[in-house]
């Protein structure tokens, strides 16, 4: 029998809690953005909706401490600041910037971001893009 095993077949080294994953999401964050490539879209704010779905490593499973999780309120504030802080031409560009913002937190493994323009086509509720980015 290898030295690392006891007579009961357990490993002598301390047990490590299993790190799990959790999905954090914000859906349909309604914002006003200066976005678009067409002349009628420049210099005006348009209604958009931003949704993020994050796959996050649980660093302290079962913890009831806010510091142990990615805070959706803080994330929403950061997305609001990003959207209102600059003008972009494309929803793809905005989605990529939001995904990069989400991935700054090392616990975030994957970020799926959807950006929808809500008032572009009269016969469509929204148009937009959804992207997915992973850490590393």
3-state secondary structure 34-95: CECCCHHHCCCCEEEEEEEEEEEECCCCCCCCHHHCCCHHHHHHHHHHHHHHCCECCHHHHH
Q: Which residues are catalytic?
A: 117
Burial of residue 120 (number of CB atoms within 10 Å: 0-12, 13-18, 19+): middle
């Amino acid at each position: 029998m290898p030295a690392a095993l006891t007579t009961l077949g357990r490993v002598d080294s301390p047990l490590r809690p299993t790190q799990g994953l959790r999905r954090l999401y914000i859906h349909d964050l309604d914002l006003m953005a200066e976005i678009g490539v067409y002349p009628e879209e420049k210099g005006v704010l348009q209604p958009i909706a931003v949704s993020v779905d994050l796959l996050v490593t649980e660093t302290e499973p079962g913890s009831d401490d806010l510091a142990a999780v990615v805070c959706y309120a803080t994330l929403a504030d950061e997305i609001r600041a990003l959207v209102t802080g600059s003008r972009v031409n494309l929803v793809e560009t905005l989605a990529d910037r939001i995904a990069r913002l989400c991935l700054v937190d090392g616990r975030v493994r994957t970020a799926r971001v959807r950006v929808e323009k809500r008032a572009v086509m009269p016969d469509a509720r929204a148009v937009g893009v959804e992207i997915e980015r992973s850490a590393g």
